[in-house]
Amino acid sequence: MTPTATLAPAPSRILPTIVFSQFAGTSLWFAGNAVLPELQASLGLQAEALGLLTSSVQFGFILGTLCFAFFSVADRVSPRLLFLFCSLLGALANMLVLYAAASITGVLLLRGATGFLLAGIYPVGMKIAASWYSGRLGKAIGYLVGALVLGTAFPYLLRALGTALPWQSMLLAVSTLAAIGGVLMYLLVPDGPYLTKGAKFQVGNMLRVFKAKEFRAAAFGYFGHMWEVYTFWAFVPFMLAFAFPNWPKDELALLSFLVIAVGAVGCIWGGYLSQRWGSGRVAFVQLLLSGLCCVLSIWVFQTPYLLLPFLLFWGLVVAGDSPQFSALTARTAPPDLVGTALTVVTSIGFAITIISIQLTGYLLTTLPVQWVFVPMAIGPVLGLLSVRPLLSK
């Protein structure tokens, strides 16, 4: 890396292209959510089978990130080329659901394959951003995770609008969008000036990244965040239906979209604040506020008229710390293993979400609703304890 490369500003097209490509690629993640009712009718699925359909992407993603991290793929292959390759194959796997719609096994395998390929999109997109932005990494990743949050919320907006678009056309549109995103990333975003020479494959690379004390602090802070965020998103529709049982489904879907999508504002807002306060402080404050929301839910669920503004605030802060933890992870990882570090941390984080979601679902069968979401505070508490050494970062 030369001094000139260090000081040269990124061309203005770089960040918008990365953000769009990240949104386009990660839209594959939730394509199944948007067409679940149609697939249920096409496959003749029982309600309990839908959980398998949704979880298959998560499991595929975890498997993909573990494989990519083990072989240090994101640090041995050009990240632009990897992003393109996974976007095109992910688009193909998503499109092939059209031809497997008569077989639940085929659909599950294809959704799992899509999740696997997302391991070359989401964390790799963050590495591409890290190769272009160093001092402003928190701001750049704020936009990237904001795009992911909007993708998470998007299916609820489709439901709220009552779109008449056939589910087959919707899948084709998402596949086309993902493919375009991959091509644009490859054509418009060259390797950045902060891209370091990739590491050679070593079996211990996954473990080597955890030897750095500051990296462990960032990673365990992120794990605490992940314990809460996806569980919150998963149960937002339930919370709203509990508080407003007589509201039409399309209105509840719109509210679900708003509560989740406002997290994108938290991500971008936090990114700008990180330029003044530092990523460590921004992550700490937002994780503290979202943890307090977990505890305060005991009282808010007993006063339904407060629930909507409370959930909007919770949705704002629950996602806003994610890009700052990713920025801290990228900064504190060994320079030649940034891609591996982001990938393995993301993999562990998503495995944690499955445990938290399943626990919360079980608690709904055993506890009064107002107590169910308090255990989500465990993650923020442990994350706050872990991230304290990074408050000056």
d(CA 124, CA 219): 17
Looking up tokens 């503004």 gives 309
Q: Look at the chain and report how many structural domains it folds into.
A: 1
d(CA 238, CA 250): 14
Residue 320 lies in a domain: yes
Position with higher pLDDT, 202 vs 278 = 278
Residue 344 lies in a domain: yes
| DSSP, residue by residue, 221-266 | HHHHHHHHHHHHHHHHHHHHHHH-TTS-HHHHHHHHHHHHHHHHHH
**Rg of the chain (C-alpha set):** 20
Residue 8 lies in a domain: no
- State both tokens at 207: 């473990």
- In 3D space, the residue among 133, 136, 143, 169 whose CA is nearest the CA of residue 20 turns out to be 143
Residue 3 lies in a domain: no
pLDDT in tens, 14-32: 989 998 998 889 888 777 7
Can you say how many angstroms the Cα of residue 332 is from the centroid of all Cα atoms in its chain?
20
Whole-structure pTM value: 0.79
pLDDT in tens, 353-367: 888 888 888 898 888
Residue 7 lies in a domain: no
319: pLDDT strictly greater than 90: yes
Determine what percent of the chain is predicted with pLDDT higher than 90. Answer: 33
180: pLDDT strictly greater than 50: yes
pLDDT in tens, 99-152: 887 778 888 899 999 999 998 998 888 788 878 876 666 777 888 888 888 877
Domain that holds residue 311: 14-193+203-390
- In this prediction, residue 341 carries a pLDDT of 79
6: pLDDT strictly greater than 60: no
Looking up tokens 């407060």 gives 306
Residue 97 lies in a domain: yes
pLDDT band, very low/low/confident/very high, at 393 (cuts 50, 70, 90): low
Low-confidence winner among 5-19, 40-54, 172-186, 371-385 (lowest mean pLDDT)? 40-54
- State both tokens at 288: 């503290």
- Domain with residue 363: its CATH number is 1.20.1250.20
Residue 1 lies in a domain: no
Residue 86 lies in a domain: yes
Low-confidence winner among 133-142, 183-192, 323-332, 371-380 (lowest mean pLDDT)? 133-142
